[in-house]
Every structure is written in C-alpha cells, then in structure tokens.
Amino acid sequence: MGDINGFGDPQPRKKWILNAFSMSSSGHVASGLWRHPRNRTHEYKNIQYWIDLAKILDGNFHGLFLADMLGVYDVYKVPGNLKPALPGAARFPISDPSLPIAAMAAVTKSLSSGITASTTYENPFLLARRYSTLDYLTNGRVAWNVVTSYLESAAKNLGLETQISHDERYAIAEEYMEVVYKLLESSWRTDAVVLDKEKREYTDPDRVRRINHKGKYFSVAGPRLIEPSRQRTPFIFQAGASKAGKSFAIKHAKAMFLPGMEVAAVKKQVQEIRAEAIQLGRDANSIKFIPGILVIVDETDDLAQKKYEEYLSYANLKGSLALFGGWTGTDLGKHGDDEDFKFSDNGVATELALGEPQAKVIKSSKTVADILERWIKEAGVDGFNLSYAVNLGDFEAIVKWLIPELKTRGVFWDPVRAEGMSMRENYLDDGLGPRLRADHPGSKFKWDN
C-alpha cells in the first residue's frame, strides 16, 4: 500500500489522475439532487458558479471534464416524450460548455478542462478554431472529449429526420479527425509567426499552407485561421462503450473514461484495450484509464454513510430512468417507478437512484483511499473521474478529506510543478512536451515539431 504507513517506498509511487466530472447543466448523474439545499448546480448558467468551482478544483484536481448533449433524454415511457426529463432536471436544461472556460482559466493555475463536442453535428473547420482558441486562452490546458452523439432527439434538433447509423457516425468521425489533424498539425509551421518588424512581416507567408482536404464527408481548404497554439491538437478524451467507440478511442484518445461497477470487469476492459492498442501500433502504457466513480467522503465511515442517506432522500428515480433510457435507448418504464437496481462490490455500492451505472464509494478518507488503491492495483487504472451528488460540496469534501490522505500515501500529483504546463504533459506525465506523441495517428500530419 505504498507510503500508507509513513515509511516511504524505495521508489516514488505513480501519481493518480484526479478528474472532476460534471456538466454545464442543472443535473448530471444524480437525478433529483438539485433539491439538496447545498447543491448549486442550478447555477450552471452563472459565471460565479464556474469561478467558484474552478477555485475549489485548482491545485487539487488535474482537470474538469464537462460532458454535453445536444438533445433531451426523451425515451422514457413514451418515445419522444419530453416531460419525464423536465421535473427531475435530468441533464436538461443544459448550456454550452465551452463558454465559461475563459473565466475559469483566468482564475486557475494548473486546472485543465475537457470539453465535449460532436463529430456528427459540428463543422470541423469551426471546431478546430474553437479548440485552438481555447488552447490559447487556457495556455494549453484543454481537452476535446470526442463524441459522435447518440441521441435521436439531438439528430432532430440538428436538422436530420433520424440519426445517422452508429457505424456511419464512426466512419464520419474518422474522416473528421483527419481534417482536424490536418488543420491543427499541418497548416502552420510552429515558427510561422515571426513578428519581424524590420521586414514588416507578421507571418512568414511560406510557413502557412492550405490543407485542401477532399474526402467522402468533408471538403476543407484551410489553412486554420489561428496561429499554432501550445498543444496544437487538444488533448483527446474519449468514453466510447461500443466496439466501434472503443476502437476509435484506442486510435485517437490518450485518456479513456470507463464505465463499470466492479474491479474485475474494469480490469478486463483495460486488458482488452491495451491488447488492441498494441495491435494498432500504439504505446499501450500511454493510454490513461480513468473509471467514473462517485466518492462520498467524510471524517468517518459513519458520517459518510449518513451523508449518503441524506442525499438518497433527494434522489429522483424517474429522472434516473429517463437518463437510463437516453443512454441505452431502453425504456425502463415497464419496470415500475419504484423499482431500484442495486449492485455491490466490496464496499462499493451502486444504485441507479444516484445516477448512471458507476461505482460509488461512501466512506472515510482512509477507507476510500484503500478502495481506490485496489482499483489502481487490480484493475490497472491510472486515476478516477470523480462525479458528485452535491456540487460544489462533494468536490470540497474530496479536497478536505481525501486529498490529504492521498498526499500521505505519495499518490497525489504535484499541481505546483504543473503550473505553466499543458494538459497533455500533466495527464501523461512522460516528459515529452505539449504536442501529440509519436505513436498518435495525428502525428503524421505534423509539418514540423
């Protein structure tokens, strides 16, 4: 158990990635918890909420991951029915997650942001400019969580009669990534902006070029409109659960968010993905595995349990069922409104009532840390994507109770050293700088390093 007894290991221990998981929405995984008196997520639309959240996370968490959706979870009971999602605030209403980032960047030193955007519905030329701009505004502290968007309701918002099929969405996404890599890696040399006042040359015209991409789905002349940012291609997250999604993630992403309620199941996923990565010529150890988990921590196991029970009294099962319908396309309305779904895994309780199928750890800091250690060691994961039931409160509790324990064990990262470093450097911690790694498929588009 590493440095748990204070004697120190012969070697420094691997540091854990601590990711905070949220949405720019009234509700996220724990439906109904907007009613909790300390919960502030209904302020998702106000700038001060984001500034306060950023200040709590900065210096503690590596990054904040913001999921997103472009439609409503409207599968529950009557397909196309808006109503069940509304009372429980099941990820609806929801705002644009890219827009508060600048205000958060201005008040933080090492916190990164992972922002979701869809390859099915956003134009790649506009998206490339957006992430380049964010990469500048955050000084290289931004990731793109690549999604292909799975909601039928999103398709109908974005101009389609029905969804593009899953496999075609991934085929589009493959070409989309190529366009984005060309724009971000290939159209400007790093030394293009010379600011040579003598020669009256802001940009050297020989160091910028078009990409002239013409493919099956996209036609983009380029060049990208903004000069080279620190990371160029943002750090890439992915959370693909389907076979095509996983293959896509293995190819393009360096941090994968895994669902999963049990150590053994996550371990199996990690092993399978590493094996597939090796087949694809990627460095298997360079992919970071980050399972989602809900940590409710307090001074003692008992106080944590009491807090959890108090949270449960606010949970909204209807909202959870609407969410579940959205994730799976399966209507659980037929199971009856008061049915619950329970699993357990050695101190880890999971209940649909507090959100999506993910592990929950409800204990004192030492017990939480022991359970998380088991995930790290047995499942081979690199850190945790920590969700909340009450926000800001559950993140504050992690900072107050859990992080001191992680420091004692020698697994807490060094956020002071991270100041001024890019997200890619902070998550991969391999000393290889802010740009795409050599084994990444976007690397072959680099005009220069």
State which of positions 19-48 bind a second copy (CB under 8 A). Answer: 24, 26-27, 32, 34-35, 42, 45-47
The residue range among 4-12, 127-135, 246-254, 338-346 that interacts with a second copy, by the rule CB under 8 A, is 127-135
Cβ at position 100, least distance to a second copy in Å: 5
Rounded distance, CA 156 to CA 304, Å? 43
Among 64, 89, 297, 368, binds a second copy (CB under 8 A): 89
Cβ at position 231, least distance to a second copy in Å: 13
State which residue, 138 or 365, has the beta carbon closest to a second copy: 138
Among 94, 143, 258, 399, binds a second copy (CB under 8 A): 94
Q: Is 78 in the site for a second copy (CB under 8 A)?
A: no
Q: Which of residues 168-227 bind a second copy (CB under 8 A)?
A: 193, 195, 197, 199-205, 208-210, 218-223, 225-227
Q: Is 158 in the site for a second copy (CB under 8 A)?
A: yes
The residue range among 82-90, 268-276, 301-309, 323-331 that interacts with a second copy, by the rule CB under 8 A, is 82-90
The residue range among 5-13, 93-101, 236-244, 335-343 that interacts with a second copy, by the rule CB under 8 A, is 93-101
Instruction: Enumerate residues 6+ apart whose C-beta is below 8 A from 141.
Output: 63, 105, 108, 110, 111, 112, 113, 422, 423, 426
Among 3, 15, 136, 247, binds a second copy (CB under 8 A): 136
Rounded distance, CA 418 to CA 410, Å? 16
Cβ at position 83, least distance to a second copy in Å: 4
Radius of gyration of the chain (CA): 22
Number of residues that bind a second copy (CB under 8 A): 80
Angle formed at CA 218 by CA 216 and CA 224, multiple of 5 degrees = 145
Rounded distance, CA 414 to CA 344, Å? 33
Rounded distance, CA 103 to CA 214, Å? 37
**Residues composing the chain:** 449
Q: Is 134 in the site for a second copy (CB under 8 A)?
A: yes
Draw the binding track, 335-354, toward a second copy (x: CB under 8 A; -: no contact).
--------------------
C-alpha pair distances (Å), 364 with each of 189, 292, 296, 446? 51, 19, 8, 48
Cβ at position 345, least distance to a second copy in Å: 30
Rounded distance, CA 426 to CA 441, Å? 21
Residue 429: how many CA atoms within 13 Å on its side-chain side? 18
Range 423-434 burial, b when 16+ CB lie within 10 A, else e: bbbbbbbeeeeb
Residue 54: how many CA atoms within 13 Å on its side-chain side? 24
Structure tokens, 232:
């160029």
Q: Is 1 in the site for a second copy (CB under 8 A)?
A: no
Draw the binding track, 262-301, toward a second copy (x: CB under 8 A; -: no contact).
----------------------------------------
Among 316, 364, 365, 422, binds a second copy (CB under 8 A): 316
Among 159, 281, 336, 431, binds a second copy (CB under 8 A): 159
Cβ at position 219, least distance to a second copy in Å: 5
Helix then strand then coil, % of the chain, to nearest 5: 40, 20, 45
Q: Which of residues 370-399 bind a second copy (CB under 8 A)?
A: none
Please, what's the largest Cα pairwise distance for the chain? Answer: 76
